[in-house]
Amino acid sequence: MANLTPFPELSYRHNELFLEEVSLSQLAKLYGTPLYVYSYSALVKAFSEFQNAFKERDTLICYAVKANGNLSLLRELAALGAGFDIVSAGELRRVIEAGGDAKKVVFSGVGKSQEEIKYALEVGIFCFNIESEEELFRINQCAQDLIKKAPISFRVNPDVDPKTHPYISTGLKNSKFGVPFSTAIDLYRKANQLSHVLIQGIDCHIGSQITELSPFIEALERILGLIAQLKELGISISHLDLGGGIGITYKDESTIALNDYANELLKRLHHFPGKLIFEPGRRIVGNSGLLLTKVEYLKESPDHRFAIVDAAMNDLVRPSLYDAWHEVVEVTQPSSIPSRPLDIVGPVCETGDILATNRYLMAQSNDLLAILSTGAYGSSMSSNYNARPKAAEVLVYNKDHYLIGRRESFTELTQRELTDFFNQTSLTKNKLI
């Protein structure tokens, strides 16, 4: 039978799957499929749990916008007191448009452009998480041009193995992310000589979907060692940012309890009086959302059974990209289990367009399936490949449901493209760019 334990807001009622008090069949009828559905209660619970675990200290929880940047979700998180971890100007615009506070934003990412840096300086973000020496000099120059001082932190690579998928490990010494541990002190010294940066913090982010505590503890201990060395050089650090990366349960993996995470970290932080920052993404939204999809066809080949559904890799790329596993459940609970498994695939013209393999589901055409744990890195990684419009998004709360993202229209799919290019004069060209 389906495992609904990681998803307490989901339940079968008279054999029909409900998220909170809302029937998913009903939502499919009203909004169509594929459809992302989020639970407001699950979102608030996940964020509050994080907040409460650290309430004894001055803590800023900067939700990682890239996990799911839907404006309504950002707005609700901002209302709960969240700051935001961003990796582009586009994400900063989203935060501001959602009513988030720029003064609670940390800006991560290895490739910040001059325009992005200047925009962040103009709106007055909390801190830049610098990822290279060249970036330090660029930020100093941009701040000088604007006659401002840029608050900075270095994202240090503590070289610990987070024991997760290699594509989402970011803290090893040959990673493209962060600055090597061995160069950190030297970089802080250089930053200390610059006129338009203000050293504020130190940070690391070692990877994603981490299910063991030890890599976080190891990373913290290495960072605390650096803070002590910096202190001897007269460089004081006012905040410590441990990044995000805490895993969630997708299948049956046991993951980190937030209270254990907080206790283990806090007992090592007695001698660090400053502000604590965390950048969780997946842990806040991952198990707050699901992707509802309809079976279009069943298809048998000699050794395989396929359910071809109306969602595809353009809606949810994690299985194709990382070989990620998502629980899939029937929206109408079947009374039996089939003898042969099937693969759930989408309509996109790629062999890799797979959503789940080897599932014992009684799926028939027109049946609805729910792909669970898709609140994070689902909608935000979606694309228009095969000219497929992006799925609609709905938020449920108790008995109510709210549209928080319209289904993309075919008009929207093509409206930025120009077909009269031969008639463009240099004058109109300049206006178009």
Ligand X SMILES: *Cc1c(COP(=O)(O)O)cnc(C)c1O
Catalytic residues: 349
Contact, 130 vs 152, CB < 8 A? yes
Kindly identify the residues of this chain, within the stretch 232-261, that bind ligand X according to CB under 6 A.
243-245
Distance between CA atoms of residues 399 and 412, nearest Å: 32
Three-state DSSP string of 200-260: EEEECCCECCECCCHHHHHHHHHHHHHHHHHHHCCCCCCEEECCCCECCCCCCCCCCCHHH
Kindly identify the residues of this chain, within the stretch 206-235, that bind ligand X according to CB under 6 A.
208
Residue 108 makes contact with ligand X by CB under 6 A? yes
The interface mask with ligand X, positions 86-105, x = CB under 6 A, is -x------------------
Q: How far is the CB of 280 from ligand X (least distance, A)?
A: 5
Nearer of residues 207 and 346 to ligand X, judged by Cβ? 207
The interface mask with ligand X, positions 324-363, x = CB under 6 A, is ----------------------------------------
Contact, 433 vs 56, CB < 8 A? no
Nearer of residues 171 and 346 to ligand X, judged by Cβ? 171
Contact, 256 vs 221, CB < 8 A? no
| Dihedral (CA of 297, 299, 305, 311) sign | negative
Q: How far is the CB of 317 from ligand X (least distance, A)?
A: 15
Look up residue 317 and give its two tokens.
Answer: 């790329």
Nearer of residues 34 and 162 to ligand X, judged by Cβ? 162
Distance between CA atoms of residues 192 and 198, nearest Å: 8
Name 197's bridge partners: 150
Among 222, 239, 282, 388, binds ligand X (CB under 6 A): 282
Distance between CA atoms of residues 62 and 41, nearest Å: 19
Residue 201 makes contact with ligand X by CB under 6 A? no
Name 19's bridge partners: 10, 22
Stretch that binds ligand X, among 225-233, 276-284, 290-298, 308-316 (CB under 6 A): 276-284
The interface mask with ligand X, positions 370-409, x = CB under 6 A, is ------x---------------------------------
Residue 178 makes contact with ligand X by CB under 6 A? no
Q: How many residues bind ligand X (CB under 6 A)?
A: 17
What is the DSSP code (8-state) at residue 412?
A: H
Residue numbers at the binding site for ligand X (CB under 6 A): 64, 66-67, 85, 87, 108, 205, 208, 243-245, 279-283, 376
